A and B are shown apart, each in its own frame.
Chain A
């Protein structure tokens, strides 16, 4: 039986349909979770998709974290449930404190909509294990507030503990610093995606769901989607054992 994976839909989500499509391709059964729901309907994993959750006129994700469904997502994550936030979903997770760091306005002060490359720092996480290699993985970014920020001490800890899972890289696969052209938003230390200490909640700014089919120019992101689906399948078959972080 295909594993049921929830896709949260805030009124301003606009990548929910794309995410449902990519999960479908990866063999999952996507379940749409309306933002007013107080329960997650027994799904094995949750994706918070991209978009502008409640318009994001104030600051991306700042209102969404107070929605009923996010209370359920927070409880699910505390219990070790798998949660992936993409773009606006990452912003919501960061606002909710479910992943470390903050996402500031792009250093250009302009929206960044372009294809970039990222490299997976680790291939032993529940969000990356199905990738064929570290990359570079080509996929689009599309955001105005994606500049990953944390203080130096926190950044050092994140790196030490293996919580940085994706970084922006240039064509040669080298990490893109805040001022490099290959870094679309000025993220510190080129960080494009992080996970929590337990390894069950992750967020990234680029859009793997838009790079999951060759006809769209890149299928490099599909390994991330497949990793999530496979991890969710394992979690569904052994729910109690899934709490321990990897590494």
Chain B
């Protein structure tokens, strides 16, 4: 349908502003109607993406206080002190909708945007982790998206010289029409250089540097990120921004030099909402206003109309507040790095964003004959933007925990399809979600910067902090499979798993950043999923004593095939004080004892095994005890600090069998273990009960390690030892309850697979799933 054939709608609706929002805009303008330019500014700033108008009341419930937090939510990135005068800045953000339309540029600009959030704070970006979610890997469209997104992440990150050290790649049918591209970036800064996104000091210059402004990304926030896809609509393509990583590299170096030399009073990157967002947010934070000199803004092409200039999302641009006498130095730095730079306005004391055509005089007053074409209170665009009370309603088919007193559902009757457990393990290791991601992360530069101690592929990423004994440990985790059953549990589990993955290296988690990917918030069920997710996030962070330092909300993740499974993507950064104590997941030494820590509980719903073998309709996901999780993480950190631990791996996707297989494959040693069957063989081997670890240690330390675990209230058992070239798991059926027939009579009593076969399945699984090899 062409534009001309569309029924004529009032302008505000065409810009995505609802009728009640128009009433609220009038209210903030003293009763008058906004002109077209002002309406365009409101439309981007009151978009879901910029205003958090649906999620704000929920986000207020998150714990934000924590040890060492120097910047939290509301700033471009969270910042936490790590001692030695240093601090770490980190944040995760989504670029889902642009990536669905144009995967390469969508992903590339996702990387660019989150990097800017980091260096805007004064931090040098040191790492990127990308969490990617797609539909069926056999689907041609999925393959196209995977290829483009992976190339985009690499194309941008590799060029700017920030290593891609981790992330996730998950396939789930719910992402078929709507992939998720969540990118987390981490930076290091000297705490004294912490720079905030504010425009203080009336009379100061407002300086724009970086790329010139063009027509790309017009309405990205309002058109793309804040509406459901109705079809593969080519008219949205101009809304996707185009990335220039070389310009970003220049921007990083110039910005860090400006900050290091104390030349800027405040700094903000231009992302969603472009100049409108950067000026209104910085002014509102400082309690000032900004007079924008529209003619002074460098343009990429002639003929841009004012609203295009004000809301363009052209990439690689920065906005700084600068003392007038510092301007010559600022200009020199930008020009040396080859970046266009211009004074585009003045900080004022009236609290308004005012836009003038016709230029300003040297004192920052409009020239004679200049025309003011817009004037809006900065606060009306940002802190006083509309907030909606959305309606939450649990779906009638809700699958939650059983009512108090009701017996827990036991998963004994799951179809096991006559497969022997060794074949199941190989199928799991070779599955699209659990196999090696090497084919993807080999397209990324994971070692530039020469600080990568542990890169992608084997648990959390580890980066040394040069000049100290410390290391940063980072991971991203999300659990949509459980979230589809119980959005509270999915979110809480994601926090538990991400922090556990940090703790098992010996590092102490510092804080949490989150990217909340959900459906259309005007749909009560989707809003219920979001509110349950935020509740799970808050509960888990409180139980683990961690602050949420920032993040991003991505709603309207829906397509004609339906909404995505609720996906809270959790990023965690931890600190290891002494790099020498670092522990990895690989079995390191023959004859080391293997310990299983934690309790196995029933429930296979949402597991990789259920995805393979099919789920029982009455089944639930395994329950999570947050207090036990916190104790488990305290235990493993203490055990590692005491030097008792040789390797530690958490039990998650694919259960105990996969965790053991990973330790064996990565260490190049086999293992022989014996476990009792308290539930069913499937639950014991492949169940994904949280709060469990596989730990190895020297045999003579096993007793001490068991004692320490019990002191932390953990159930613990030495189940075997490292050695040989096969993984052998014996199931001690004597400990089981119920008839053999009920548990599936054809299940063998031992799993026995060579490490070589494990490796073969694991290494080729993803390439086969994506059709990269036959």
Contact = CB atoms under 8 A, between A and B. Distances in A.
Nearest to A113: B445
The range of chain B's interface size is 20 to 34
A113 B447 contact: yes
Pick the most buried of B245, B448, B451, B579: most chain A CB atoms within 10 A of its CB. B448
B91 interface: no
A149 interface: no
B443 A14 contact: no
Contacts of A50: 448
A212 B450 CA distance: 9
Contact of A52 (B249, B441, B451): B249
Given A113-B447, A216-B450, A142 B338 contact: no
A55 B446 CA distance: 19
Contact of A113 (B160, B442, B579): B442
A22 B451 CA distance: 12
B410 interface: no
B667 interface: no
B466 to A, nearest CB: 7
Contacts of A140: 446-447
A11 B450 contact: no
Contacts of B244: 55
Interface string B117-157: 00000000000000000000000000000000001001100
B768 to A, nearest CB: 16
Contact of B246 (A54, A212, A217): A54
Interface in B308-338: 337-338
A113 B443 contact: yes
Contacts of A55: 159, 244-246
B444 interface: yes
Contacts of B154: 111, 113
Interface in B230-257: 244-246, 249-250, 253
Nearest to B464: A215
A51 B444 contact: no
A140 B443 CA distance: 13
Given A21-B466, A210-B448, A215-B579, A51 B161 contact: yes
Contact of A111 (B158, B245, B337, B453): B158
Contacts of A110: 151, 442-443
A22 B466 CA distance: 12
Contacts of B161: 14-15, 51
A217 to B, nearest CB: 7
B253 to A, nearest CB: 8
Contact of B442 (A15, A112, A210, A216): A112
A54 B338 CA distance: 11
B444 A111 contact: yes
B445 A111 contact: yes
A95 interface: no
Contacts of B250: 11-12
B450 A209 contact: yes
Interface string A110-132: 11111000000000000000000
A84 to B, nearest CB: 16
A18 interface: yes
A56 B246 CA distance: 8
B668 to A, nearest CB: 12
B158 A113 contact: yes
B452 interface: yes
A207 interface: yes
B643 interface: no
Contacts of A113: 154, 158, 441-447
A215 B453 contact: yes
Nearest to B441: A113
A51 B443 CA distance: 15
Contacts of A14: 159-161, 249, 448
Contacts of B74: none
Nearest to B582: A215
Contacts of A51: 161
B449 interface: yes
B445 A216 contact: no
A216 B246 contact: no
B448 A15 contact: yes
A21 B448 contact: no
Given A54-B246, A110-B443, A142 B159 contact: no
B448 A11 contact: no
24 contacts: A11-B249, A12-B159, A14-B160, A14-B161, A14-B249, A15-B161, A18-B448, A18-B449, A21-B466, A52-B245, A52-B246, A54-B246, A55-B159, A55-B245, A112-B442, A113-B154, A113-B445, A142-B445, A142-B447, A210-B448, A215-B464, A215-B579, A216-B447, A216-B450
The 5 A-B pairs at the shortest CB distance, nearest first, are namely A14-B161, A55-B246, A18-B450, A142-B445, A140-B447
Given A52-B159, A112-B442, 17 more contacts: A11-B253, A12-B250, A15-B161, A15-B448, A18-B449, A21-B466, A50-B448, A52-B249, A56-B159, A110-B151, A110-B442, A110-B443, A111-B444, A113-B446, A114-B438, A140-B446, A215-B464
